[in-house]
Amino acid sequence: MAVGKENVEVVEITKPRTDTRDYKRIVLPNSLQVLLISDPDTDKCAASMNVGVGSFSDPEGLEGLAHFLEHMLFYASEKYPLEDSYSTYISEHGGRTNAYTSSEHTNYYFDVNADCFEEALDRFAQFFIKPLMSSDATTREIKAVDSENQKNLLSDAWRINQLQKHLSEEGHPYHKFSTGNWDTLEVKPKARGVDTRDELLKFYKENYSANLMNLVIYSKESLDKIENRVLSKFQEIRNIDRIHPSFPGQPCTPEHLQVIVKTVPVKRGHKLRITWPMTPGIHHYMEGPSRYLGHLIGHEGEGSLFYVLKKLGWATSLSAGESDWTMEFSFFKVVIELTDAGHENAELIIGLLFKYITLLQQSGVCKWIFDELSAICEMTFHYQDKIPPIDYVVKISSNMQLYPSKDWLVGSSLPSTFSPEVIQSALNELTPNNVRIFWESTNFDGHTELTEPWYGTAFSVEKITASTIQEWMKKAPEEDLHLPCPNVFIPTDLSIKNVKEKVNIPVLLRKSQYSRLWYKPDTTFSTPKAYVKLDFYCPFAGSSPEANVLTDISTRLLMDYLNEYAYDAQVAGLYYAISHTDDGFQVTLTGYSHKLEILLDTVIAKITTFEVKSDRFYVIKELVMKEYENYKFQQPYQQAMYHCSLLVKDRSWPWTDELEVLSVLEPEHLSRFYPQILSRIFIECYAAGNIESIEAELMIQHVEDVLFMGTKPLSQALFPSQHLTNRVVNLEKGVTYCYSKEGLNPSDENSALLHYIQVHQDDFKLNIKLQLVALIAKQPAFHQLRSVEQLGYITVLMQRNDSGIRGVQFIIQSTVKGPKHIESRVQAFLKMFETKLYEMPDDEFKSNVNALIEVKLEKHKNLREESSYFWREIQDGTLKFDRKDHEVAALKQLSKAEMIQFFDEHIKAGAPQKKALSVQVFSTTHATEDTGDAGEGKIVNIEDAFSFRRSRPLYGSFKGGIGHMKL
């Protein structure tokens, strides 16, 4: 059927050269604009609906209504009236669903196993045709919106964002509070005699019109089939020809410019955010002015602003670019993380920033820089990795509101028109007359006189003049600021290597007493990219809290020393990281393969010639100190996860011990300790992608030569006795352990529960039973504990895997109830779920089994995803690279009776074999909570985490070193 084809101009959509998918734009008779994507190779199908209305359209006095509506559409529809049946259907068929509300649009999306896409799509379409929005659900979901807001109240990112909005024109929608809470959606409307549900229905009716919507469908089927399906399911969406909401005018008038705002963050530290209102870059997206300016102001190579600030010991990170933009207004932001010394010299830092901007003004717009940037962007676009369909559809549907159809896939990512005038014009907006400076520091505590109303952020505002900034520029140190040099890391060889052996799983290519190399050539993605990981297992590195901290500082210093050199590599799409692990450190390189070896050689050279530079040591030490001290401001559910790991993972150190040793560490401690880290090591290596086996072998041979050979080798092989690692506590059967701790931040009213059920050590048959129970229970747990009982916005049931030890965990955070009450509700849910499982019809059981099989058979989207999957097997020591085949085979044999027997033995409330750990973090508001029912069977309270850990046996480690013994 020709779907309104007469009025649809056929446009060639620009797509990557390597992209084999088919695309087609159609417009339905109701004016709904749709992009169809056909990908016969996909396992998951996905859809995203972008509605061109967001929180800017909230009615006066009903802040958060657009966001609240986004929540409500998930509940039920006239065609599917059973509450939560949409989310349940998606979850039971291997999919995910979510939504978000921004200032000018709201985006709803999901993915699902391919064979269930048609029904999922039908349920999704009903959001926009006839949602129910019952009054009972309305009241409950206002609590969920309030819980979401409670979670954000102590988040510095949310607080500073709202402060920036607060200091803007009151009549402009940018000024509003957008998420909503109990006060704005329940208390205040009720006091005025306003019915929130009536307003909700009215808002939906007046704003959700097909002509304001853009839909993306990603499917296995042919374009014609998808087209017919979309027409049948989405043509009923009403079209009231609603004019696109527009919000002309600028959020910042002269009174909001030329200001310095001092504000007190929650977390310890200092930060400068320098922002300028500017012409939205989207009006010149082919010329890319803000990309050009962001590239130069945010550069980290020699001569850059960050290079100078780092050398002075004043900053630890800097980023620059456009943010918070709409078609009408935009901000260019420079964000600088300051050291204590940087905070003392903040005015001079602002002076240096303006000096660099002046340098850009005087240098003029450089064609070679634009051309280099344009070439990198083009390479990135044409060789982009495939990403999960759910992420792809969201990205495109939001682009559809902003760009002409030929650029829906491209967006602003391909600047190709060199226009010095446009770039110069954007640069001219970054003036002292136009600036807003937000200066955050805990040092301002007690020195501010104003409070932002929604989050309670303390701040003060001072006007500054252009001449003040001129003074700061004059006083700023004389440093050699200059433009970057040409980027030597841009790959010129993008050819694909010939792979002789087509292997589907990693092979052990090389083994010695020093290292083991796993190799997996690219047989799937055909991209000129590689992935290389070297895991340095150093027994001394994690042997004590002090050793752990020193190893961490050394990896950060290595990254710090390499930054100027390797920054260009990252700009050119070759990423590297040196990261601290429980047993040493890892080097990871991923990106274009052409110059990867050059970067690896440099990284290894830096590791082997490492020296402690005192000035940088103190900067990194200060940074790490702040991270530890800010631990207390983590969300309570994150604190619960930390306590759980501390209880079950052998050889993990408490952050309080590490903070204590950190405070007295000096450069000489690291100078003495670093040679010890490297004195005995074993390197587990993985090389994958566009790399030949001989290259991989030579790479590792080179690393061995540098470390272990020569007259005075830095390193020696491990003794066989040193190989053992990854030990996890084996909980006792028939016992529920309870560990209760007060939340670390007295101002946080949230409490949290982590209820962990430990089941077994990696075993194909047991794994699939556990995974199936988790798949079936996930959505009912969310619906009952979050939607019905409204315990809290963060409510998840998920699997847990500690080095091959498998289990499930409930994680719930709440302001309304304490952890003991939540624990009793988890027990009640398990009893309720037991009935559901026992009464499950055979066809529903079969359908869940098939859903899990499809999830397992899902192909990796890109090299990074595939490599992470195989690396997990290497890291855990399980080495079951063909795990999916074995688990699918086991699933096909599984009966419902076996699954129920597994549930009865290991998971159900009061199960005799059950091993449970209840970690409870309580806020001061819940400190006096009644002890309710803490669980079934034998309850054991843990008084001391380490006595507990020492008292329990450990599971054998899968990781046994060269001989690969399993204990």
Nearest partner of 754 among 679, 847, 613, 642, judged by Cα: 642
In which residue are the tokens 């083994």 written? 511
| Spatial contact of 285 and 433, defined as CB atoms under 8 Å apart | no
Region label for 208, one of left (φ > 0), alpha (ψ between -120 and 50) or beta (otherwise): beta
Beta bridge partners of 55: none
Percent of residues in the chain assigned helix, strand, coil, to nearest 5: 45, 20, 35
Q: Which residues of 231-246 are buried (b: 16+ CB within 10 A; e: fewer)?
A: bebbbebebeebeeee
DSSP assignment letter at 183 = I
- Cβ pair 451, 458 in contact under 8 A: yes
Chain centre to alpha carbon of residue 482: 34
Give the Å distances, CA to CA, from 617 to 582, 663, 665, 720.
21, 13, 10, 34
In angstroms, the Cα distances linking 734 to 829, 830, 907 are 19, 16, 11
Give φ, ψ of 558 to 5 degrees: -60, -45
3-class secondary-structure state, position 460: strand
d(Cα 475, Cα 121) in Å, to the nearest integer?
63
SS3 readout for 814-830: ECCCCHHHHHHHHHHHH
Q: Is 387 left (phi over 0), alpha (psi -120 to 50) or beta?
A: beta
HSE at residue 847, side-chain half, CA atoms within 13 A, is 14
Structure tokens at 421: 């005038």
Give the closest residue to 740 by CA, choosing from 749, 753, 731: 753
Q: What is the dihedral of CA 455, 457, 463, 464, to 10 degrees?
A: -110
Retrieve residue 256's tokens. 């909001």
Amino acid at 873: E
Q: Of 16, 37, 13, 22, nearest to 381 (Cα)?
A: 16
In the block, residue with structure tokens 């907006």: 429
Q: Check if the beta carbon of residue 907 is closer than 8 Å to that of residue 773.
A: yes
Tokens of 616: 């940088």
Q: How far apart are CA 386 and CA 845, in angstroms?
A: 33
Q: What is the CA radius of gyration of the chain?
A: 29
| CA proximity to 754, closest of 641, 906, 909 | 641
Angstrom distance (rounded) from CA 443 to CA 51: 43
**Pick the catalytic residue: 63, 83, 104, 141?**
141
Q: Alpha-carbon distance 910 to 916, whole Å?
A: 10
**Which residue type is seen at 256?**
H
What is the DSSP code string of 81-127? -STTHHHHHHHHTT-EEEEEE-SS-EEEEEEEEGGGHHHHHHHHHGG
Tell me the sheet residues that pair with 98: 109
Active site annotation includes 70: yes
Phi, psi of 84 (to 5 degrees): 70, 10
Location of structure tokens 């790399």: 691
CA distance between the termini of the chain: 65
Handedness of CA 200, 205, 209, 210 (dihedral sign): positive
Q: Tell me which amino acid residue 9 is.
A: E
Amino acid (one-letter) located at 803? S
The secondary element (H helix, E strand) that includes residue 585 is strand 584-592
Q: How far apart are CA 179 and CA 156, in angstroms?
A: 16
Catalytic residue among 63, 70, 227, 887: 70
Closest CA to 639 of 545, 549, 744, 729: 744
Catalytic residues: 70, 141
